[in-house]
Amino acid sequence: MTARTPVSQLAALPDGPVTVAGWVETVRDQKKVQFVILRDETGSVQLVNPAVRELDPETSDAATADAFAVTNEISALAHGSFIKATGTLKHDERVKLGGLEVKIESLAVVSEALEAPIAADSSLDKRLDWRFLDLRQPKQNLIFRVQTTFLHALRTVWVEKGFIEIHTPKLMASASESRAELFQLEYFETVAYLAQSPQFFKQMAQSAGFGGIFEVGPAFRADPSFTSRHATEFTSIDSEFSWIDSHEDVMALHEELLVAGFQAIADKHGDEIREAFGVEVTVPSRPFPRVTLADAKRIVAERGYEVPRADADIDPEGERQISAYVKEEFGHEFVFLTDYDSSIRPFYHMRREGDPSVTNSYDLIFNGVEISTGAQREHRIDVLEAQARDKGLEPEELAFYLDFFRYGVPPHGGFGMGLARVLMLLLGESSIRETTYLFRGPTRLLP
């Protein structure tokens, strides 16, 4: 089989023979000439064929017969069919699509397509029903190339710092944080739970002496929410590391990772994102602004919005309001909300020395939406047990977790961050359903 050349590599080749393959995006079947726009995973190219509409069996040679066959094949092409074409590459600045075209010599239909049941302007739900077709759109393809670049940049930072990548189990014998929002399933003679986060296992790595670790993997929340930011299964970006002095160390790493990720995206995809999404990728400056939760609620109130519950976390409208304030005051798309009350944080968050009503923790808000929670963890077993009881948890139920701390754990901290939310906000999309490869929600298990 003749090797194909990806469309993105054609511009660097000299004029001459080439083989391309992909799906049919457009056919313009004119009387004297035919044009086919072929798209593969890297881009689009124009194929051209001088049409041969009639064949005289007595006078036509083999070349004319082949051209006649190609003409008929192109006339019958269905949009979306996968084809392979061999021909002559020609650079021509008059060609609007990339300044080059391929004159067809032979064409084979590899897989014929039915008429597509969706279009680019179909509703999101319908597009998700036919996600494999929806993802053929260049804009959708770009989302996942951006995702790849982003994660590669993060991994580069971690690896250069000597962090270890781990893959934690998603089947758990007990709840990772609480029994709320847990999926329960039969597991042989007992029950298991789908992990809400790798939290306990990240901390186990600190007891194991791994030091810095990271994971990019699935997490599950039995949350019946139908908002633009929630999913029942999502990809979580997690990191944990030892020998920190406070949550400020965690925030510093978080900043470094995001700056590296956004810089890589801007460098590699900035122009494409501007064209496809109308968004300018802004690489955030360091340090990110920091606002305590109490100050954030006060600022939001001064802007005319009262967070419904004074003893609770800031709500989505509050997040939008504090982001607008930070954008106005600091010209920044990110803000760390810090000093969360211990009453609204998990038992394993370290409480502030001298003021146990406050935790060494933060939420990171990006363009009006919370994308991450991070904290310094409590590593002292007696304090950890007391804080668990304070939250109504029985230490016996947490025995496997608490054992990590009975055998020594250094001071440590980390964060978890939702990948689809970051991409949604970066690209200016309206829902994480657009930036999730295959979305899972309360009413969606297919495709």
Could you report how far apart the first and last alpha carbons of the chain are, in Å?
A: 33
DSSP 5-22: --GGGGGGSPSEEEEEEE
Kindly report, as residue ranges, where domains of CATH 2.40.50.140 are found in the chain: 7-111
Q: What is the pTM of this model?
A: 0.94
| Residue 114, annotated as binding a ligand | no
| Residue 370, annotated as binding a ligand | yes
Q: If you count them, how many residues does the chain have?
A: 447
Q: What dotted CATH number matches 7-111?
A: 2.40.50.140
Strands 171-172 and 233-242: unpaired
| Residue 221, annotated as binding a ligand | yes
Kindly report, as residue ranges, where domains of CATH 3.30.930.10 are found in the chain: 127-427
Residue 370: how many CB atoms within 10 A of its CB?
Answer: 19
Domain 127-427 in CATH 2.40.30.30? The answer is: no
Residue 333: how many CB atoms within 10 A of its CB?
Answer: 19
Structure tokens given for 43: 């881009």
φ/ψ of 83, rounded to 5, equals: -130, 165
Q: How many CA atoms lie within 13 A of 29 on its CB side?
A: 14
| Residue 290, annotated as binding a ligand | no
| Residue 377, annotated as binding a ligand | yes
Could you tell me which residues are beta bridge partners of residue 106? 86
Give the whole-angstrom CA distance, residue 196 versus residue 184. 11
Helix or strand holding residue 148 (H, E): helix 138-160
Q: What is the DSSP letter of 395?
A: G
| Residue 272, annotated as binding a ligand | no
What is the reported pLDDT for 1?
A: 56
Angle at 418 between CA 416 and CA 423, to 5 degrees: 140
Place of tokens 């005319």: 304
| Residue 54, annotated as binding a ligand | no
What is the reported pLDDT for 263?
A: 98
Give the whole-angstrom CA distance, residue 240 versus residue 209. 12
What is the reported pLDDT for 54?
A: 85
What is the reported pLDDT for 164?
A: 98
Spatial CA neighbour of 53 closest among 63, 64, 68: 68
Q: Which pLDDT tens digits describe the chain residue by residue (447 residues)?
A: 569 999 999 999 999 999 999 999 999 999 999 999 999 999 999 999 999 888 777 677 887 888 898 999 999 999 999 999 999 999 999 999 999 999 999 999 999 999 999 998 999 999 999 999 999 999 999 999 999 999 999 999 999 999 999 999 999 987 656 567 899 999 999 999 999 999 999 999 999 999 999 999 999 999 998 999 999 999 999 999 999 999 999 999 999 999 999 999 999 999 999 999 999 999 999 999 999 999 999 999 999 999 988 778 999 999 999 999 999 999 999 999 999 999 999 999 999 999 999 999 999 999 999 999 999 999 999 999 999 999 999 898 899 999 999 999 999 999 999 999 999 999 999 999 999 999 999 999 999
